[in-house]
Structure formats: structure tokens, C-alpha cells
Structure 1
Amino acid sequence: MKKKQTVSQGRKFSQVVEGAKNIFLRDGYAGASVDEIAQAAAVSKATLYSYFPDKKLMFDEAIGTELRRLGEITPIKISSDTTAEQAIPLIARQIAVWLVTPANVHMYRIHVAEAGRFAGLAADYRATVRRLLVDELRPHLDRWVAGGELQIEDSVVAAEQLVCLAGTGLMDAALLGKRDPVTEPELARNADSAARVFLRAYTRLANDAERMTAAE
């Protein structure tokens, strides 16, 4: 029976993980060479192999560590007493900024590219992004529904819609290597348009419901 390979930790473990993360995010799994990882981590290949006898173990640890860091802070930050009309444009901008941040684009790209080889890591990434964006947004939507500001039958679907609207076009531009970074005017225009579409849909539904109730 083949002995299962495991990760070993040592004095320069964090240094190796950081170097490996940088190379994997830059070159992908297949394109990352052990020589370049060792150079980026400022260690010998012998030290590298003493911690990670297998490249897959190194990838899983490096990208998994970065994913845990990514999941520590949600970009959605609004006051609990803010109205939907005030908050939705702000939330759309916060989401848009987060989606096109270079570090987050690199993480998205690597998980899409390696989903077949690292299915568990890809699932963890999807769950993390969902928790940071959709799960953070839902309580606010539910609060505005309870207060009569919006009419939403499924706040999960509505939250997903706002996330998609906020990133429309911007993510593709960032992901596919647009030469120049997304500008602030581009980002603001896209996010504000997303907010208008979202509010127009769900506020109109709420207003229609009120008129129907009054007519009865």
C-alpha cells in the first residue's frame, strides 16, 4: 500500500506558503514551477520538498490559506437603519469594487481553472463568496421587505441578482485581462445602473401590491 503523503511544518512554512500562493495565482497550477516557487519563497528546493512532498498538497495549502484570508471580511457594510433606496446603490458599489479587486480576480480565475482538479477547494471558494455577499445581503433585504420598502418573494434569489448586476461586464473585463484597470467612473456607472434596475423591479412590485390592497 502506498504511503499517504502529508504536509510537514517548519520554521519557514509560512514563507513557503506565501511564495507558493504568489506563483500559483500568477501562473496557475500547471504553469507554476517548483524552481520559481522556491525562488519566490527564498528557500531551497530541499526545504520546499521537506514541507510539501507533492505539488498538489502545496497548492491546496497555499490557495486554501488565501481563501480563508479572503473569507474574513465581507465588503458589505451599511448601517442597520439605512433605507433600501439609500443602501442599494452603496451595496452595489461595494460589491463591484470587491469583485474587480485584483487579488479577488486572481482567486476567481484560479478556482475556475482548477475546479476539475481541486473540486473541494472550488466548492469552498463558492461557499465563501456566497457567505460574504449573498448571505450578508439577505438580512438587509428581509428587513426592507418587513418594513414594506421592497416586495421580494425569495431574498436568496434577489441577493444573487444584485451581485450579478453589480458585476455585469466588470468581472469579464477584469478576468479576461483588460489592459487597464477598471476605472472609478466605469465602476460607479455600472453599480448605479445595477441599483436602479434592482430598485425599479422590487420597489415597483411593492407599490403595485400596495395599490392592489388599497383597491380591495
Structure 2
Amino acid sequence: MNLRNPQKLGRPKNPEKRQAILQAAAELFPAKGFSGVSMMEIAEKANVSKLTLYSHFVDKEDLYTQSVIDCCEQQLPASSFKPAPGLDLEQALRAIGNGFLDLIMDEKALTLHRMIIQQSGADGDHAGLFFNAGPARMLSEMRSFLEQASRSGALAIAEPRLAAEHFFCLLKGLVYMRVMMGLCPPPEKAERETHVKEVVSLFLRAYRPQTS
């Protein structure tokens, strides 16, 4: 039997077991890095069989990618970039900003990022997996959000991709580098929210349509 072909297994997938696998992966990958974790170890930690694990994920690369996506979705779901009707632009940007800082300042995310940087020279392929599943995916969502805001006339942005990068870089600031280097703990939620408010105000001043 080919364990890596979930189409041949013929069993309905259990979402609770899938989430248990993702949770195990979210704990093991940051602690040991991609190469330091085996699929069997993840299956054992999730208390599932290897057969069950491969019924949900094609291989370790697939599981790693999906675990990064799941981590992002918990703090900053894709729905954040599609604000509910009636939510004004400033509120929507603040919600995105707060979710983003909650995500990058989470201890597991910090540990994983440190691990990736440490191993990137010898393991560039898996650093690429992380970037595509996390930052690149988020930038794409933000670009779409800003394109829609520009089409509606709420913003005037010539290059939404660059504006998306500017927004997230402003949010990270130098404090993220300090936290990554262990020079200070992650800022408290109230401090993060104040920072987000300031960034959003600056961003809107830069990209609001000019009035004559």
C-alpha cells in the first residue's frame, strides 16, 4: 500500500486527528527544526498511526507547509483581509496589524523563525517553504486588500505589493529584531495596540487620496 497517496486509503478524514497532527508539528518543528523531526515522531506525539498521518498529509514538506499556514490562520486568518461590510478602513487595518503582531510575537513563531535563520545556510529549501507558506502568502492577501481599497477610492496606491511590504515592515519596526535577538521580551498587548494605531495613522496619511 502506498502510504503517501491519500486517495487510495478510502477512509473519511477525522478533523480532530488532523488538528492533533498539526499541533504536534507546531511544537516539534520549532524545537528541532525541519530535519530534526521525523514523521514517526510527529505521529507518536499526536497519538495517531503513521497510516493516519499520511492520510492527511502527503509528506513532511506538506505537513510543514500546512502547519505554518495553520499557525498563521489562528492569529491572522485570511478572513481578516476581507473585512465585514460597515467596517471602515482604519478599523480593518488595525485588525490586520494587531493580528500580525500577535502572530509574529507568539513564542512558537519566534522559536521557529530563529531556527530557520540558524539553519537557512544548510537548509535553504525548507526556509523557502516557510516563506511561501507564511510571509509570501500574507503579503499576497494584503496586496489584494489594498488593491480593493484602491479600486473603491479609499486609498491611492500605485504599487500595492510594495505598500503591503511597507505596512508589515512598519509594524515590525526595530522591536522585532530586538525580540528575535533576545534583547527584550515581546511587548505587552496594550503596547502593541498603541504601535499598530500609530502605524495605521502613518500609513493612511501616506496613501489617502489627495484632496484639492
Counterpart Cα distance in 2 of 1:181 and 1:161: 21
Counterpart Cα distance in 1 of 2:24 and 2:147: 43
Counterpart Cα distance in 1 of 2:193 and 2:24: 34
Give 1:16 shift.
Answer: 11
CA deviations on 1:101-153 (whole Å, 9 max, x unpaired) are 11111221111111111111111111122344211112221111111111101
- 1:188 corresponds in structure 2 to 193
Task: Note the residue ranges of structure 2 that are not aligned, 5 or more in a row.
Answer: 5-19, 46-58
- 2:67 corresponds in structure 1 to 69
Counterpart Cα distance in 1 of 2:145 and 2:21: 41
Task: Note the residue ranges of structure 1 that are not aligned, 5 or more in a row.
Answer: 1-7, 9-14, 43-59, 212-216
Taking structure 2 as the reference length, the TM-score comes to 0.66
Match of 1:116 among 121, 126, 139: 121
Q: How does 1:1-216 map to 2 (within 5 A)?
A: 22=27, 25-26=30-31, 61=60, 65-72=63-70, 73-74=72-73, 75-76=76-77, 77=80, 78-79=83-84, 81-178=86-183, 180-203=185-208, 206-207=209-210, 210-211=211-212
Counterpart Cα distance in 1 of 2:169 and 2:151: 24
Counterpart Cα distance in 2 of 1:99 and 1:156: 20
Counterpart Cα distance in 1 of 2:87 and 2:66: 30
Counterpart Cα distance in 1 of 2:96 and 2:22: 33
Counterpart Cα distance in 1 of 2:142 and 2:32: 33
Taking structure 1 as the reference length, the TM-score comes to 0.65
- SS at 1:189's partner residue? helix
Give 1:64 shift.
Answer: 6.4
Amino acid in structure 1 at the alignment position of 2:207: Y
Amino acid in structure 1 at the alignment position of 2:141: E
- SS at 2:155's partner residue? coil
Give 1 or 2 for the bigger CA radius of gyration.
1
Counterpart Cα distance in 1 of 2:21 and 2:96: 37
In the alignment, is the contact (CA less than 8 A) between 2:25 and 2:64 conserved in 1? no
Structure 1 moving runs of 4+ over 4 Å: 15-24, 27-30
Give 1:169 shift.
Answer: 3.0
Are residues 21 and 153 of structure 1, via their aligned partners in 2, closer, same or farther at CA, if it must alter by over 3 Å? closer
Counterpart Cα distance in 1 of 2:91 and 2:163: 17
